[in-house]
Amino acid sequence: MSTRREFVKTGLLGATSMALQPGSAFAAAESKPPMRFIFMHKGNGLFPSVMVPPTLSDKESELEQRKQPLELDLDKHDLPEWMGALSNHKDSLTILQGLSGKMCTTGHHTWCSSLGVYKANERLSSIKWATVDFELAKLFPSPFEHIELACFPDGGGNPRGNIDGIEKGFSARGPQQPNYAFGSPKIAMQELFKSVSSDKSNQLNYQLDREVLEFVARNESSIAAQLAGLEKTKVSNYADSIESIRTRNKKVDAMSELIRRHVPALQDKYYSDSISTLDRQTGHVEVLLSTLVSGMTNVVTFTVDELGTRYTGVPGVENENINQHDVGHGKNVGSLSADQVRERIRTHHMTLIDTIVTRLKSVPEAGGTMFDNTMLFYFPSSGETHHSKGTEWPFIVLAGRNANLDIGRRYIRLPPYGEQGHKTLGNWYTTILNASGNSTDHYGDFDTGLTHIDQKGPIPEFFKA
């Protein structure tokens, strides 16, 4: 690909049309582009057994079955069939097994737990600190700082049934500060790109919103000055959030022409009130790509599904309204077993990842491509099974060459839970943060059941020499 304009030719199913120009945001920073991070997490567990390459030797299989340390070159092995869409990306692919997360909330709804590495629930008081995606967003500033997309559950969990709106998400900006996520491609398009909308009523609403924000910011700051304790903290956080939105809007206005060139032209089905779950996920990916490529954000978190997310559009059972909780308990759906349903859902998720990586590889940047400066993580929000104990937390990682980690093209199984050398989600996120410029000693809570193991710090063998 010689120009960014050619990027539009790779649009998924004709869903997006991004007129990328050499004079975009990248041109000003071609010497050292920012790193980008994409967190894709799913509900209902992710079985460690389905992550294993099917071509292990007898000795390797024996070690794997005992969950003993193992490291394999993926060039010498086939991927599990459901990961087939990632075959063209094996050089930057890591299948990471053996991490634990017992310090997190596990079970049906885990809120921001797996991104924050602490026990969390629906109460704001349970949010201890910013989740790892927000910590990374601080290192690579952007107008929107962080964007969150979600396929919400229709009952229970974060949104309490409002699957198409803007609701509390699965990330946190800081202590007692939940983030908010866009529940559908339609609402994401309306809100993220309203500043460059050609619709006059949308433009008028955008200007009215700005005036309201200015009024509320002054009012809330005045109220906060008269309060004390927790109430003052709540109102101050609210006022700060409003002010941050106003600051963001100013930055967005300054780059309006660039954003306008990258607005995705989604097909009508992505705006439909009866959108299928698989189409909802695909539409979210188009929004995700647009916000990254335009420079609106460098960090996107995408809740691909949650336990209560009803699935429609699954191949073979397209007309079924699939209850993932039932699937988690082994209930068949139509002609498919529960495991087959799980596999078809995961397979679709891999096509989403392939779309993201392929598209980013097609965008020239600083002598390479945009993917060179990207890390993508796919993992369960609650651990290894439907009723997880948190002893395993599988990850699929795709990392560009500038990610400063030496883990590509490998299947890695770390020492099992309780044995020396075992690593946790906290160690893993500390590794990512350190590799990205945040030299924190340790991110997240410790596991009180692992007092005999030194849990602190990054995983040193993952760094480039």
pLDDT in tens, 308-354: 999 999 999 999 999 999 999 999 999 999 999 999 999 999 999 99
Helix axes 425-436, 132-139, angle to 10 degrees: 10
Same domain, yes or no: 48 and 139: yes
pLDDT band at 274 (very low <50, low <70, confident <90, very high): very high
Q: What is the mean pLDDT of the chain?
A: 87
> Is 26 among the domain residues?
no
pLDDT the model gives residue 260:
82
Q: In angstroms, rounded to a whole number, what is the distance separating the alpha carbons of residues 458 and 440?
A: 9
Cα 370 vs. chain centroid, distance in angstroms?
17
Nearest Cα to Cα of residue 82 among 341, 334, 321: 341
> Is 29 among the domain residues?
no
Cβ contacts of 393 within 8 Å, gap of 6 or more: 99, 100, 101, 114, 379, 380, 383, 384, 425
Residue 168 token pair: 């509390």
Same domain, yes or no: 336 and 418: yes
Same domain, yes or no: 46 and 167: yes
The residue length of the chain stands at 465
Same domain, yes or no: 199 and 309: no
Which of 90-99, 146-155, 221-230 has the weakest average pLDDT?
A: 221-230
Q: Determine contact, residues 178/199, Cβ cutoff 8 Å.
A: no
CATH number at residue 98: 3.40.720
Cβ contacts of 243 within 8 Å, gap of 6 or more: 217
Same domain, yes or no: 60 and 138: yes
> Is 24 among the domain residues?
no
Helix then strand count (H, E) for the chain reads 11, 12
> Is 96 among the domain residues?
yes
> 3-state DSSP call for residue 54?
coil
Q: What percent of the chain has pLDDT over 70?
A: 80
Could you tell me the CA-to-CA distances from 254 to 257, 448, 459 in Å, in that order?
8, 49, 41
Among 213, 233, 262, which residue terminates a domain? Answer: 262
Instruction: Report pLDDT digits (tens) over 181-231.
Output: 999 999 999 888 886 655 555 555 545 454 444 544 555 555 555 656 656
Residue 36: in which H helix or E strand, if any?
strand 36-42
Same domain, yes or no: 12 and 82: yes
pTM, entire model: 0.87
Q: Provide the terminal-to-terminal Cα distance of the chain, rounded to the nearest Å.
A: 32
> Is 109 among the domain residues?
yes
Among 241, 262, 283, which residue terminates a domain? Answer: 262
> 3-state DSSP call for residue 388?
coil
Same domain, yes or no: 307 and 391: yes
pLDDT the model gives residue 230:
56
Does residue 262 register a pLDDT over 70? yes
Nearest Cα to Cα of residue 107 among 425, 322, 447, 385: 385
Q: Determine contact, residues 126/115, Cβ cutoff 8 Å.
A: no
Cβ neighbours, 10 Å, residue 201: 8
Same domain, yes or no: 167 and 146: yes
pLDDT the model gives residue 192:
87
Residue 25 token pair: 């945001």
Q: Determine contact, residues 187/201, Cβ cutoff 8 Å.
A: no
Tell me the one-letter amino acid at 74: L
Same domain, yes or no: 180 and 158: yes
Residue 412 token pair: 């890695």
Cβ contacts of 427 within 8 Å, gap of 6 or more: 99, 442, 455, 457, 458, 459
Q: Which domain holds residue 240?
A: 194-262
Cβ contacts of 153 within 8 Å, gap of 6 or more: 43, 109, 159, 161, 163, 306, 307, 308, 309, 310
**Higher local confidence (pLDDT), 161 or 39:** 39
pLDDT the model gives residue 10:
37
Same domain, yes or no: 344 and 409: yes
pLDDT band at 28 (very low <50, low <70, confident <90, very high): very low
Among 262, 288, 307, which residue terminates a domain? Answer: 262
Could you tell me the CA-to-CA distances from 155 to 159, 161, 165, 201, 242 in Å, in that order?
8, 4, 14, 33, 29
Please state the domain count of the chain. 2
Secondary structure letter of residue 463 according to DSSP: B
Same domain, yes or no: 331 and 445: yes
Which of 79-83, 105-109, 246-250, 332-336 has the weakest average pLDDT?
A: 246-250
Q: Are strands 36-42 and 395-399 parallel, antiparallel or unpaired?
A: unpaired
> Is 319 among the domain residues?
yes
Average pLDDT over residues 124-131: 97
pLDDT band at 246 (very low <50, low <70, confident <90, very high): low
HSE-CB of 186 using CA atoms within 13 angstroms: 14
> Is 28 among the domain residues?
no
pLDDT band at 251 (very low <50, low <70, confident <90, very high): low
> Is 234 among the domain residues?
yes
**Which residues are registered as beta bridge partners of 428?**
none
Same domain, yes or no: 442 and 457: yes
